[in-house]
Amino acid sequence: MANISDTINMSFRVNKNLKTQADKLFKSLGMNTSVALNMFLTQSVREQALPFKPNMTASEPSAELKAALQELDDIEKGKIKVKGYHNVNTFIEDMLK
């Protein structure tokens, strides 16, 4: 465990209801939220990854994502013409116009 002189304060935003629920959970596990967050950070650094697999699947892509994918498909098929660049300087010049 680090000395108190080796610690810093962290500040971040979290939903009030989520914080209340988390505090209650961690108290029932015999710790406070600060200890739980330190455990999470320590495990993340040790594993060089999240210490759990987040559920990142969605049953249906959003309308915005569907439209973006359709636009990309149309560009690839030549239905939508876009300007291509062979060097970054030309791209930057066009963006600054």
pLDDT tens by residue, 18-49: 999 999 999 999 999 999 999 999 999 999 99
pLDDT of 54: 78
Asked whether residue 21 is assigned to any structural domain, the reply reads yes
**Residue among 79, 60, 62, 61 nearest 71 (CA):** 79
Distance of CA 34 to the CA centre of its chain: 21
Instruction: Dig out the tokens for 77 from the structure.
Output: 């098929």
| Domain residue limits at 33 | 4-47
Mean pLDDT of 71-91: 90
The single residue listed with the structure tokens 């030549």 is 78
39/72 same-domain check: no
If you average pLDDT over every residue of the chain, what do you get? 89
The single residue listed with the structure tokens 């680090």 is 2
pLDDT of 58: 62
pLDDT of 44: 95
pLDDT tops 60 at residue 1: no
Instruction: Tally the domains of the chain.
Output: 2
